Amino acid sequence: MELSDRKLQILKAIIDDYIDTGVPVGSRTLSKKPGFEFSSATIRNEMADLEELGYLDQPHTSAGRTPSDMAYRLYVDRLMHIDRITKDEAMFIRNYFNMRINEVDEVLESAAKALSDVTKHISMVIAPQLDDVKLKRIQLVKITPTKAMLILVTDNGLVQDQMITIPVAVDARQMEMLSNMLTDMVQNVSLKKAEEVIRTTGAESILEHKAVMDEVLDAININREKKELVYGGAQNIFNYPEYKDIGKAQHFLQILETKDMLYQVLSNATDLEFSIHIGRENQYEDFKDMSIVTATYKVGGKKIGSFGVIGPTRMDYARVLSVLNYVGMSLSDILSCLLETDQNK
Amino acid sequence: MELSDRKLQILKAIIDDYIDTGVPVGSRTLSKKPGFEFSSATIRNEMADLEELGYLDQPHTSAGRTPSDMAYRLYVDRLMHIDRITKDEAMFIRNYFNMRINEVDEVLESAAKALSDVTKHISMVIAPQLDDVKLKRIQLVKITPTKAMLILVTDNGLVQDQMITIPVAVDARQMEMLSNMLTDMVQNVSLKKAEEVIRTTGAESILEHKAVMDEVLDAININREKKELVYGGAQNIFNYPEYKDIGKAQHFLQILETKDMLYQVLSNATDLEFSIHIGRENQYEDFKDMSIVTATYKVGGKKIGSFGVIGPTRMDYARVLSVLNYVGMSLSDILSCLLETDQNK
DNA sequence: AATTAGCACTCGCTTTTGAAGAGTGCTAAC
DNA sequence: GTTAGCACTCTTCAAAAGCGAGTGCTAATT
């Protein structure tokens, strides 16, 4: 059954009001809004219908109505209106990135901080996902007699490094040779497939330096599996009346600190431009009264990581989306600029 | 005026009880403790004295007494008894470090997690302080035509790296030469003095590669000033009845997230074996009803970083100290093992 | 047939009240 | 110097009362 225009109008007004105030909305409140021609009784009837259809909840008999997950879903799909963020806000966000930033990690932290400060929700950002990124170069640098640094350079300019232990004596020249050999093998191969390619195409050279190669392959795998995530604005949890219960808040902070769930959520969202999960749409029971909105950032035109905010279902989706959009653009710009000066020249 | 033995005994009993229960201690409670010969009335008189002397506070007329900062100070200086942690606890802590750990950062995170899980307080760890550490080597590695990686190796095995932009064309051979030159100059020079030494002793070679050198010196300074700190167990704030007030808790989490204050506190404590700051002994007003206990960790026998916990003044100092002691040893072991395999061989 | 005014009713929230309990300080006796 | 006894203070908890926002239903109105 399709909702009548009036029902939609009322539903939208309820959601807008509830997002704004956080207080269950009563019929009288609505009827006094400018542009509302109907009496409170009419609205009450419509509200009763909407409740029956599953769009509204009533915390208790004598309270106003609150939107259900279903209502928010309808809202984000059809009712809400997204404005572009204001110039001032754009400036404000840009400022978070304007400091001297040299490392990818710092960019991510800045983004998380910007997001949480601007949206007043908890923000999260994952580091670039490397699995599908193609390698450009592998370099081994001898640091001490038994340690070397392994440097992986990807074709979008990301540089990852890691210390490895060299179990047998290898001099600097040999290491240079190994580097060149490895680079030849993995050119344009994704990190995911690097091990396989090295093991097959480089079979004989591996045997020669087996001990070192094993360390290198180990290190590559560790890098692949590295799960890096930053979050920000944890203290915003206190803005959510849902979490005024200390026990719940504590539990939630625990979840944040573990990071595992957030990581799952974000890594599942790496290919979609935007994603919105409302309440029980989330895969985790713990997020059943939270909404998660995510977006992706790009480096070199390729979606490579995602970020988002998590907050109560009562969230200003329109605003969050516009902020996410802008932060995504900024993030992509900054990273591309940080990493790809060569290509730009 | 020196406190009588009986006063000390009573004070200690009050503190022990208060640390244990968190409830203001009354005279009757004390008089019923085994080993207490005096009546509640006697204890009341002594308590009144102790209050006048500033060792006890009374939240309100008809409540028991709570220890003052001064009392805790006396307690940690003279009254408390530190037990070594149990074998089980030691195992438990060691487990946090037993996973595959490859990077200094991960060790710090593990330590923070161990500390907060075991003490149920908020923990914090700063990364090794490099200012006074002597350099062993500087290596430049060309990554792309315009980017290079600068690697700093210190004589205790720490490796720091950073990307720098190369403004003019420099080929790999020249870069190797520069690396050797820089290494010669800064051998055994502390990071703090590296810039000065390079500028004076390397005057003519600098001119030759001024643009590159400027980038290198910049990077060294950024590394010197890098403030890295991890904290853990933020959700333990909810265990502190002092912070059951949401607003206070929020404010405190904000302070944590900023990290500046924690960093100050820890970096001031890098040379002392242990330090205990109780309540108003802390330099920051925000910590006026918290205690901060810190310890240091070593690499290669040299104190190089510190860590600690922050919690309510009502803290089990004896236990916290023994845990800190053990974590400090573990941390020093692991880091030394991670970094200095050469020296050990 | 749709809308609205009116009204009794529900239920959460806040304030009030009162009782219980823990602890004190003081006095007088030991 | 120590202790028993007692009146007094102050918090805490729970129940009770009152308030007010909001509802659903009915009957009147358009």
B231 touches chain A (CB under 8 A): no
Percent of chain B's residues with pLDDT above 90 = 71
Strand D within 7 A of B45 CB: yes
- As a whole number of angstroms, the distance between CA B64 and CA B51 comes to 11
Q: Residue B267 pLDDT more than 90?
A: yes
pLDDT at A200: 87
pLDDT at B211: 87
Q: Residue B269: helix, strand or coil by DSSP?
A: coil
Identify residue A80 by its one-letter amino acid code: M
Task: Identify the closest residue of chain A to B222 by CA–CA distance.
Answer: A102
pLDDT confidence tier of residue A248, bands split at 50, 70 and 90 = confident
What is the pTM assigned to this prediction? 0.91
Task: Identify the closest residue of chain B to A240 by CA–CA distance.
Answer: B246
Tell how strand B122-126 and strand B302-312 pair up.
antiparallel
Distance of CA B292 to the CA centre of its chain: 9
Q: Residue B324 pLDDT more than 60?
A: yes
Contacts with A102 from chain B: Cβ below 8 Å: 162-163, 222
Q: Residue B345 pLDDT more than 70?
A: no
pLDDT at B1: 59
Candidates A290, A298, A296; CA nearest to A256 is A290
- As a whole number of angstroms, the distance between CA A251 and CA A54 comes to 29
Handedness of CA B202, B207, B208, B210 (dihedral sign): positive
Digit-coded pLDDT (tens) for B303-313: 999 999 999 99
pLDDT at B207: 73
Q: State the average pLDDT over residues B202-212.
A: 78
| Angstrom distances, CA of residue A8 to CA of A71, A77, A276 | 10, 13, 21
Q: Residue B107: helix, strand or coil by DSSP?
A: helix
- As a whole number of angstroms, the distance between CA A191 and CA A221 comes to 8
Residue pointed to by tokens 């516009």: A322
Digit-coded pLDDT (tens) for B36-83: 889 999 999 999 999 999 999 999 999 999 999 999 999 999 999 999
Q: Residue B229 pLDDT more than 80?
A: yes
pLDDT at B13: 96
pLDDT at A1: 58
Distance of CA B96 to the CA centre of its chain: 18
Q: Residue A280: helix, strand or coil by DSSP?
A: helix
User: Among A205-214, B145-154, B158-167, B320-329, which stretch is predicted with the lowest mean pLDDT?
Assistant: A205-214
Burial of A237 (0-12, 13-18, 19+ CB in 10 A): buried
Contact A139 B144 (CB under 8 A): no
- When the pLDDT of each residue in chain A is averaged and rounded to a whole number, the result is 91
Q: State the average pLDDT over residues B20-25.
A: 94
- Best to test chain B binding among A100, A161, A227 (most B CBs inside 10 Å): A161
